[in-house]
Amino acid sequence: MSNENVHKKNKEELLMKQKVGFIGLGVMGQSMAKHILQAGYSLSVYTRTKEKAEDLIKLGAVWMDSISGLANECEIIITMIGYPKDVEEVYLGENGIVSSAKPGTYVIDMTTSQPSLAKKIYEQAKLKDIYSLDAPVSGGDIGAREARLAIMVGGDKEAFDFCLPLFEKMGQNIVYQGEAGSGQHTKMCNQIAIASGMIGVCEAISYAKKSGLEPENVLKSITTGAAGSWSLSNLAPRMLADDFEPGFFIKHFIKDMGIALDESNTMNLYTPGLELAHQLYEKLAEAGFEDKGTQALVKLWEEI
């Protein structure tokens, strides 16, 4: 075994001695936490609805009945929750992670949130000798389930290096992006690219139908060419099957686009594609589809 492999093995063995806590067991968090548990880590979990944790508890996870209790017990804490206001409360609230965690703890927010909030958490955590990383992900429910997420990370490089073996249990494309907030800024780039792309996917599917083609056959041709994208390969088939269950909630995508629009406005950046996608998804939410998956956008071309 090479020296590099020995070093990597030793680092992971050290990491595996740490108690890991996971807060937020939604569509993606459930799978992400499961991968950590099945990799042999000691895992404690907390979520507002305990029923969502039952499957993990059966596999050996330890249920904690409060955020403060989990934070006080664990050396590494991962969060995958809903909105920036939730992130701020969980981290910076009176009984939140920063006030409850011990010095030397690593905290990793994998929620898509505001870059400015990531920096605020980093600064408050540093005052208590807590290492903070912002590490939002992309890949949806499929990527989470198959441990193929793209993970984009901001914070101190040393903290990233220490936690890398843990990230590798949840994803495959893991890139350190820079200082605190950089992970969130990178995720905004990701969401901007998806936003306009989803319009193109819906228009292509609708065009195929209107022109009398078999959309499934069309996808066989265009998914592997220059038009290829994750959305085209993974979400277009769901559109054709009328499967609009969430891999990623429309309400959460609207939240992400709102953050991206605010950041773009702050930088005086013109984003017409993002603005249009935001408007279309808001129209879809107003029609009652906010809890459906982002692929439900195609309904604007068909029913609404």
The residues that are catalytic are: 187
Query: Alpha-carbon distance 300 to 235, whole Å?
Result: 15
Per-position DSSP letters for 100-133, written without gaps between them: HSPTT-EEEE-S---HHHHHHHHHHHHHTT-EEE
Query: Alpha-carbon distance 19 to 42, whole Å?
Result: 5
The residues with which 76 forms a beta bridge, in sequence order, are: 20, 106
Question: Tokens at residue 178, please?
Answer: 């820079």
Q: Closest Cα partner for 126 from 103, 93, 153?
A: 103
DSSP 176: E
Q: Closest Cα partner for 152 from 122, 125, 178, 123?
A: 178
Query: Alpha-carbon distance 16 to 274, whole Å?
Result: 41
Question: Tokens at residue 223, please?
Answer: 């998914």
Query: Alpha-carbon distance 157 to 115, whole Å?
Result: 17
- Which residue carries 């989990």 as its tokens? 70
Element (H, E) at 149: strand 149-154
Query: Alpha-carbon distance 51 to 80, whole Å?
Result: 17
Is the Cβ–Cβ distance between 283 and 300 less than 8 Å? yes
Query: Alpha-carbon distance 279 to 264, whole Å?
Result: 16
